[in-house]
Amino acid sequence: MNLAWILLFLPLVVAAINQLVLKKSWLVPIFSTASAGATFVIAFMILGQSGTASFAWATIGDFSIDIGIKLDQLSTGMMIVVTGVGMLVHIFSLAYMKDDSAKARYFTGLSLFMFSMTGIVLANNFIMTFIFWELVGLSSYLLIGHWYQKDSAADAAKKAFLCNRVGDFGFMVGILMLWGITGHLTFDGMKGGLETFQAANPAIFSGVLSAAVLCIFCGAVGKSAQLPLHVWLPDAMEGPTPVSALIHAATMVAAGVYMLFRLQFTLGFENFEGLLASQIIAWTGGITALVAALMATQQNDIKRVLAYSTLSQLGYMVMAVGLVAGEAGMFHLFTHAWFKALLFLGSGAVIHACHHEQDIWKMGGLLKKMPITGFTFLVGFLALIAVPGTSGFFSKEQILEAANEKEPILFWIAVIVAVLTPFYMTRLFVVAFLGKTKSENADHAHEVGPLMFVPLVLLAVLGLIAGYPFIASKFAPAYHPTEHLFELGTITYISITAVIIGVVSGFVLYSGKEKDPVSIPLLQNRFYIDGIYDNFIVRYYQDAFAAIVAFFDEFIINGLLVGGLSRAAESTGNIFRKVQSGSLQGYAFVFGLGVILVIYFTAF
Amino acid sequence: MASLNDYLLVSGLLFAIGLAGVVLRRNIIIVFMCLELMLSAANLTLVAFSRFHPAPNGLPDYNGQMLVFFVITVAAAEVAVGLAIIVALYRARQTIHTDELTSLKG
């Protein structure tokens, strides 16, 4: 247990020392990276342990909020993902951020993020989850806005934070509802409380539970960037690429899925079967997966393509959780973390080599110039499109099976996504890595240094093998063991066909092209969702609200409270000003009068 | 022989005249003199009480008379300081009329 406490607080201590003591020293990156390495070692040591420990943090009467740690396969497995990806991203950042003037701030932010994420994963109660949930949002904000001098980065950071806040509001309501239903905030006590509630109120049980779960799901919609709050994630790509890999691909955005699964795991899966909330969650996930995959097909920024693919894969996971097949979702989270981090770091290496060129139509031919990056990227690409034998194949297979079993329509949506994913990834790979170079920046590209390609190679290895049972059963947060490695059935055939269709069509369409032969404005503009938000919600709601707030500020606060107080003081002062006549005799008279009064009151 | 009440009456009159002068007169020298008058009124009271409250051995109560000496001493010092202030004031403002000394007006 002590190790777990160290695991939780080490990154915080490091972040504090970095911020308060070391400041801009060259030691900061090394210190942060060392702490990430140490947490990874600790995560390995506590893997598979179980137990809880907590201390009271805030006590009000009988009610107490704890800071506690809950260790089980789910949390320790998740810690492997968080610290593993985290450590590799730290190492990669050492090289990627080498010339950045504010890299001390960057690494401090990374350490703060590691602390917050560890807190979410290890939390043993919902209030603690919520606190760290917000902390994660804060560190994400700081890191997206790392290059805050750029307006786009500052805006993206603000957008991410606000979108998350919208979801978190529901999350908080959900937590309070669950607390009201079960009377417990800790995961351990909730199950019992829920059973008591069910026994007492069988008629409204499923409705109330549904409402609570939906509210909590709001939090996941924000954090895991599901429709309709997905808009922040593609914009978050304004942050440094290693941050995108760590926070916006592998760990933080998966926190929503993790939290939903933890909820199901805590309350018992049987309560979620056929629940309305579960269906809504599943459909949200499915539609997000489809819409995001469609948007990804027409993006030109290498990081944006990956961002939409992350959205789409998160949709898969959420769908799996909604179908009460959370093990499949968590398994996909586990495999996805490795290969998506790999893809992002790979794109980071490409961007680094091409002098911060992100447009895939200005790259090309990079496989020859950067063979290690290119081939590791290829591995990530194969794992993402779920080629049999790679990790992504196993996990996606489980999701498809679950979907087929429970909701055929969602299964077909998932299959369409499984066609679209290979299509847009092939497009990305063919355009950026094959063919001729299309710009000068790409001409000058050369292989990145070992600090960058070693994490890539390690992640590539994991991306290949993480799906096999001998790894997954030990390390994955949740894993549903299968009897055979490959079950050749209809689903396997369908998914292999989907991959082939996607790859072939992508290759035929984009091979050797100089510019995009297809142009679908609807998809390029992301279904105009951002536009709707800007023109409708921002314009009518935000501006109207701003007017109300301005009125309140101007008239109530400024006019009545501040101005009123000052006017009251002034008029009282005016009354007493007359006393200060400045005439000596006036004072003497009042003084004499006073003496007489004193004598009068003492004598009589 | 005059009784204690007579002395106290005279003393009260003196004090009232002094106070009236302090409050009503505009010339600061007169105000100052009226102030002295008020002190004298107090002195008269003290002496009168001393005379009419003898100690058990038949002698007057000298405590009151001693206090009078203190008052006279303090009054002398006050006159010295006060007149100096008035001279300085006149030099600074060219007037000793209280009506014109209103720079403390709020």
pLDDT tens per residue across span A546-573? 889 998 888 888 888 888 899 999 999 8
A500-514 tens-digit pLDDT: 998 888 888 887 777
Chain A residues inside the 8 Å CB shell of B98: 583-585
Verify whether the Cβ–Cβ distance A580 to B101 is below 8 Å.
no
A381-433 tens-digit pLDDT: 999 888 888 888 888 888 888 888 888 888 899 899 989 999 999 988 888 88
**Is pLDDT at A485 greater than 80 in this prediction?**
no
User: What pLDDT was estimated at residue A180?
Assistant: 87
DSSP state of A247: I
A511-527 tens-digit pLDDT: 777 777 777 777 777 77
Verify whether the Cβ–Cβ distance A579 to B101 is below 8 Å.
no
Given a contact cutoff of 8 angstroms between Cβ atoms, the answer to whether A133 and A120 are in contact is yes
B68-90 tens-digit pLDDT: 999 999 999 999 999 999 999 99
Contacts of A453 (CB under 8 A, 6+ apart): A349, A372, A373, A376, A447
User: What pLDDT was estimated at residue B47?
Assistant: 92
**Is pLDDT at A483 greater than 70 in this prediction?**
no
Positions of chain B with pLDDT lower than 70, given as ranges: 106
The CA distance from A51 to A476, in Å, is 18
Q: How confident is the model at residue A301 (pLDDT cuts 50, 70, 90)?
A: confident
Verify whether the Cβ–Cβ distance B98 to A584 is below 8 Å.
yes
**Is pLDDT at A445 greater than 80 in this prediction?**
no
Cβ of B57 under 8 Å from any chain A Cβ?
A: no
A·B CB contacts under 8 A: 38
A230-248 tens-digit pLDDT: 888 888 888 888 888 888 8
A37-81 tens-digit pLDDT: 999 999 988 888 888 888 888 888 888 888 889 888 888 889 988
Mean pLDDT of chain A: 86
Minimum CA–CA partner of A590 in chain B: B23
Please measure the distance between the N-terminal and C-terminal CA atoms of chain A and give it in whole angstroms.
Answer: 80
| Alpha-carbon distance A569 to nearest alpha carbon in chain B (angstroms) | 15
Minimum CA–CA partner of B38 in chain A: A592
Cβ of B75 under 8 Å from any chain A Cβ?
A: no
Mean pLDDT computed over A10-18: 90
- Residue of A584, A587, A597, A599 best to disrupt the B interface, most CBs of B under 10 A: A584
Minimum CA–CA partner of B15 in chain A: A592
A246-297 tens-digit pLDDT: 888 888 888 889 999 988 888 888 888 878 888 899 999 999 999 999 888 8
Chain B residues inside the 8 Å CB shell of A584: 28, 31, 98, 101
CATH number of B4-100: 1.10.287.3510
Q: How confident is the model at residue A487 (pLDDT cuts 50, 70, 90)?
A: low
| Alpha-carbon distance A23 to nearest alpha carbon in chain B (angstroms) | 54
What is the pTM (predicted TM-score) of this model? 0.76
Contacts of A384 (CB under 8 A, 6+ apart): A309, A313, A336, A339, A340, A343, A392, A421, A425
Q: DSSP letters of A514-572?
A: SS-S---HHHHTGGGHHHHIIIIIIIIIIHHHHHHHHHIIIIIIIIIIIHHHHHHHHHH
From the list B19, B101, B106, which residue is nearest A584 (CB)?
B101
* ipTM score above 0.95: no
From the list A581, A588, A589, which residue is nearest B105 (CB)?
A581
Minimum CA–CA partner of B19 in chain A: A592
